[in-house]
Every structure is written in C-alpha cells, then in structure tokens.
Structure 1
Amino acid sequence: MKVEALLFGGVAAFFAGAAALYAAWSGDPTGTAALIVAFAMAALVSFFCTMHYRRKGRRPQDRTDAEVADGTGPVEFFPAESSWPVITALGFAVAAIGVVYGLWLFLIGFGVLVRGVLGMTFQYVDRGSHQQG
C-alpha cells in the first residue's frame, strides 16, 4: 500500500497546485471548488492507504520473495439457493408501479420490498453460531 499512498499523494499534490493556480488566474469559484474536491478525494485515498500500510505492513504483492499462496485467504461461505432476491425484485416492481397507479399499491409493494430486504439481510444470521471460534 505504500506505493499506492505515494501515487495518490502525488495526485493530491497535483490537484492542490492546479487549484491554487486556477484560483489565482481565473477567479472562477466553480472550477476552483471542483479542483479542491478532487484534491480532497485523492488525499483521502492517500491517507487510507498510508494508514493501512502502517497497520498491516507490506502485502504479499509487494514482496519479491512471496509465493502465490501467501496472498490467498480462506475459502469463504457460499450461500445456497435463496428466494429473497426474487421477492425483493417483485416488491420493488410493485412499488414502482404503485407510484403510477396509487398510494395503496405503492404501500403493498413497499411492504414486500422491506420483507425481501430483511429476508436477505437476516437469512444467515445464525451462521457460525454453532462453530467453535
């Protein structure tokens, strides 16, 4: 992450300099604000990469002596079939049609949508509680 932090730090410095020059020469507040926002976004990514590098150190991708297996993690959980995405899509479709045809249909669709989202969210809430950790 050190290389990425330096890269985005350079981008942030470029946008800071461009914002200063643009503000001095053009006097346009809109372009200056856009350049300042671009500077802030690049500085934020640079700060994140720097903190990540300080906390975790070098990644396997950064080391020349690392093996491919060093960068792999454990195989995660793959969920089985679920009907909740279909219910969520149906609820969204009915709610969208309800915008056109009336509040009563929108409320029914919104209720189905909320139930679908909650079903997807809490489908595996007890997963891992039986495992030793």
Structure 2
Amino acid sequence: MRTESVLFGGVALFFAGVAALYGFWSREPAGSAVLVVAFLMAALVSFFSAVQYRRRGRRPQDRKDAEVADAAGPVEFFPAASRWPVVTAAGFALSATGVVYGLWLFLIGMAVLARGVLGMAFQYVHRGEDQE
C-alpha cells in the first residue's frame, strides 16, 4: 500500500499545482473547482493507502521474495445481505430531487442519506465480540 500511497500522493500534488495555476491564470471558478475536487479525491485515496500501510504493514504483493501461498487465506469480511445500500441510494435520490424541488426535500434526503451511511459504517461494529 505504500506504493499506492506515494502514487496517489503524486497525482494529488499534480492536481493541486494545476488547480492553482489554472485558477490564477483563467479566473474561471468551475474548472478550478473541478481540479480542486480531483485533488481532494486523489489525496483521500493516498491517505487511506498510507493508513492501511501503517496498520497492516507490507503485503505479500509488496515483497519481491514472496510466494503465491503467502497471500492465501481469507481476504476480508464481506456481509451477505444488507438493507443500508438501498437506504443510502434512496437518500441520495431524495437529496438530488430536493435540489430541484426545494430545500425541504433536500433536507429530508440528507437525513435519510446520513442514516444509510451510518448504518453501513456501523452495521458490524460488534462483530466477533460475543465469540469467546
């Protein structure tokens, strides 16, 4: 994950530089905003990769002396079924519709969206605590 962190960090720095130059020379807010968002997305991926590298260390894919068997075993926990993606999608749809029809619908959509995201994030927070 260290390589990915450095790679996306470079991409983020590129977009930050381009956004600064573009914003200074063109004085056009839409293009500058898009470049800033691209910088933020690349920086987010770089930060996530750096945190994962610090937590888990080097992966077998990062080592030149690793064997195929080193990466064997369970990858992660993937839930079988969840209602929260549907709630999140409905909240996003309500929020997007609220942009057109009014603030009241947008706020309802944001509340539903927040509940869906929090439900997905904390759905399995207590997984494995009962097993001893």
Global fold match (TM > 0.5): yes
Q: Which TM-score band (shorter chain)?
A: 0.5 to 0.7
Instruction: State the partner residue of 2:7.
Output: 7
Matches of 1:5 and 1:64 in 2, distance apart?
19
Deviation at 1:41, TM superposition (A): 0.2
Which protein has the larger Cα radius of gyration, Structure 1 or Structure 2? 1
* 1:1-133 matched pairs, under 5 angstroms: 1-74=1-74
Q: Deviations over 1:75-111 (max 9, x none)?
A: 989x8xxxxxxxxxxxxxxxxxxxxxxxxxxxxxxxx
Instruction: State the partner residue of 1:122.
Output: none
Q: Residues 74 and 52 from structure 1, CA distance in 2 versus in 1: closer, same or farther, beyond 3 angstroms?
A: closer
Matches of 1:70 and 1:55 in 2, distance apart?
18
Deviation at 1:66, TM superposition (A): 1.1
Q: Secondary structure at the match of 2:74?
A: coil
Q: Given residue 7 of structure 2, which amino acid in structure 1 is its aligned partner?
A: L
The TM-score with structure 1 as length reference comes to 0.56
Matches of 2:72 and 2:12 in 1, distance apart?
32
Matches of 1:43 and 1:74 in 2, distance apart?
29
Q: Given residue 7 of structure 1, which amino acid in structure 2 is its aligned partner?
A: L
Structure 1 alignment gaps of length 5 or more: 80-127
Q: Given residue 20 of structure 2, which amino acid in structure 1 is its aligned partner?
A: A
| Runs of 4+ off more than 6 Å | none
Deviation at 1:72, TM superposition (A): 1.6
Deviation at 1:5, TM superposition (A): 0.2
Identity %: 68
Deviation at 1:74, TM superposition (A): 3.4
Deviation at 1:69, TM superposition (A): 1.0
Deviation at 1:26, TM superposition (A): 0.4
Q: Given residue 68 of structure 1, which amino acid in structure 2 is its aligned partner?
A: V
